[in-house]
Amino acid sequence: MWKLKFGEESCTTGPFNSYLFSTNNFVGRQTWEFDPDAGTPEERAEVEKARQDFQTNRFNIKPCGDVLLRLQMLKENKGKYDLKIPAVKIGENEEVSHEKVSTALRRGVRFFCALQTRCGHWAADIGGPLFFMPPLVFVLYISGTLNTIFSSEHKKEILRYMYNHQNEDGGWGFHIEGKSTMFGTAFNYICMRLLGEGPDGGQDDACSRGRKWIQDRGGVTFIPSWGKACENVVLLPLGVHAIVILIWKEEDLYFRRSPIQNLIWDCLNAVEPLLGSWPFSKCREKALQVAMEHVHYEDEASRYITIGSVEKVLCMLACWVEDPNGTAFKRHLARVQDYLWMAEDGMRMQSFGSQQWDTGFALQALLSTNLIEEVGEALKRGHFYVKESQVKDNPPGDFRKMYRHISKGGWTFSDQDQGWQVSDCTAEGLTCCLSLSLLPPEIVGEKMEDERLYDSVNLLLSLQGKDGGLPAWEPVVGAEWMEALNPTEFFDKIILESEYPECTASAIQALVLFKKLHPRHRKKEIQAFIAKAVAYLQQTQRPDGSWYGNWGVCFIYGTWFGLRGLSATGKNCVNCPTVRKACDFLLSKQLASGGWGESFRSCPEQKFVFLENKKATLVHTAWALLGLMSGGQAERDPEPLQRGVKVLINNQMENGDFPQEEITGAFVKNCALHYAAYRNVFPLWALGEYRQRLAAAAAAPS
């Protein structure tokens, strides 16, 4: 059976583990390892049943349910939490009572706490893209390390993932919810062949069906330029120009290049051969030297994790080309396992881990329940993880010269070793630490030192853009026209850093709370920051009252954040037209069932799209409820909230869990991302907030 190992335990095996190094003893690191002797016959049978169930239903619900992780954590935490509280249901004409909400909360909270790891974080899948794993396999194959890094069990599970996410037409999409594309199909077909499948091999004739899809559409030469560049690593040249080639299939096209950009690439392609001849070759040598300096700098600064999976493979390839036997390449190999995730649908490569992101939300959800005595241990362990994961230093050396921003006081998306602070992760981490500082340390652990809180605030203040919004990673630089040079065909807005409503709202929430608890630190600057950030949210609201969600699906997600940020400054339906308009938008999307649901198609199409048959999901329902409660809907008309809460309670499972439904994460407008922890975090958070409002209403004078 497969087992997830955490922290220093994850560093005990592996051919290159001696090349690992860490800033905090690997707190939060998580890697999957196969143990042929692990598990009882009953546990193995349960895993096989989960695999079969996923395969049978793979065209209905495409994200995994993280069954392997959940089985392991429930076993490790067995006996800590009573998971046998009877389920509750609410009738169609029945009022939502404080008692039933409390029962549902206790059931859900205990189950979720039983999923917590010994490091203190909540582990979960963050997969979905189908173009991450193939380039990794390509590089391992050409470097001769494929069989060293991937055992036969690894290969078996990688292939399982590809089989399970092959579309009915034989192709693969850009991501697991997407229609088939040449990019996804060619990548996964070649990957299967490199992993040992024959021309007609694979489950349900996977290879022959995939090959037919490619051939029916003109062949692999029609893959977009990024695909051509990657596939030239393992195949004969596909006719790629030195810069780019201009043919691709329409189904792969999301960003359409301008004629001017095409002209620029043609000119560069004509000039490029000259760089191989003296004296221009000296320029190329210098450029390659500078490029490798940056590669090595980023590798060392991130402990060879790098900023994400795409960069990881490219940097690893560059280090292998430079020195196949060098330390840098071996350190890269040691960190490959950090990107792999195992579930009932097989093994995938993640963008990177979401340990800190999920834990920040999880702690806020638990705090919202006011069940502090029951969840005290989970809060203390989660608090430990958040404190241990804060980035304590700026990037090494002359980081400005290397085009890096300060990172001291920030939080990454995953763990401290990765090193790349993210603005909303920093804001959510800061909010957690501030909120937990209000509780007794004997329950939740010692509060974070003030200086470390100040570091976080200083970082957030440094990131605000001229329009008042916050980017994700670093301050926005460059002119908007540079986006016209986007060399990809399937991403939009990737050349420059952008300001995002979600990041901005998270920062407002954190700084409002910080100002309340630490009123003397940079008071005027924080006030000015909040005022500009609020103006940014008001300016970026769409005419229908929504905000576009850049990191989730989509308008419901963005609108929750917009309302969350504005409500932190005291704005509500009564005193703010922006909030009233946003609440009206959410109310207009409530379904007859009482819930909310939104298709991933909203992201690329940039307009609201319901799920098929106007289906509701629990995560979207929770986001909508959280947004409405933030905006003051309970005081205006609580009936829509009651209907939504009924949906959450009536769909809770017998063990306190919530069912896995459609994908709810996204990035760069055109790619879906599966956050497996969301199905627990947000329903619990919504129920917790609703329970608080029920209690407040009961205590209010009549």
641 and 145 Cβ atoms separated by less than 8 Å: no
Residue 219 tokens, joined:
């062949």
Angstrom distance (rounded) from CA 55 to CA 345: 7
3-state DSSP assignment of residue 357 = helix
Residue 585 tokens, joined:
């938008």
Find the catalytic residue in 66, 345, 358, 424.
424
430 and 453 Cβ atoms separated by less than 8 Å: yes
Residues listed for the chain = 702
Angstrom distance (rounded) from CA 292 to CA 177: 36
Beta-strand pair 172-173/340-343 = unpaired
70 and 124 Cβ atoms separated by less than 8 Å: no
The number of CA neighbours under 13 Å toward the Cβ of 76 is: 17
Q: Which residues have C-beta within 8 Å of that of residue 278, sequence separation ≥ 6?
A: none
Angstrom distance (rounded) from CA 629 to CA 638: 9
Any idea what DSSP says for residue 671?
Answer: E
Angstrom distance (rounded) from CA 693 to CA 701: 14
Q: Is 695 left (phi over 0), alpha (psi -120 to 50) or beta?
A: alpha
For 194-230, the three-class secondary structure string (H helix, E strand, C coil) is: HCCCCCCCCHHHHHHHHHHHHHHCCCHHHCCHHHHHH
Phi, psi of 216 (to 5 degrees): -65, -15
How many CB atoms within 10 Å of residue 34? Answer: 15
Beta bridge partners of 5: 31
How many CB atoms within 10 Å of residue 27? Answer: 22
**Residue 424 appears among annotated catalytic residues:** yes
Positions annotated as catalytic residues are: 424
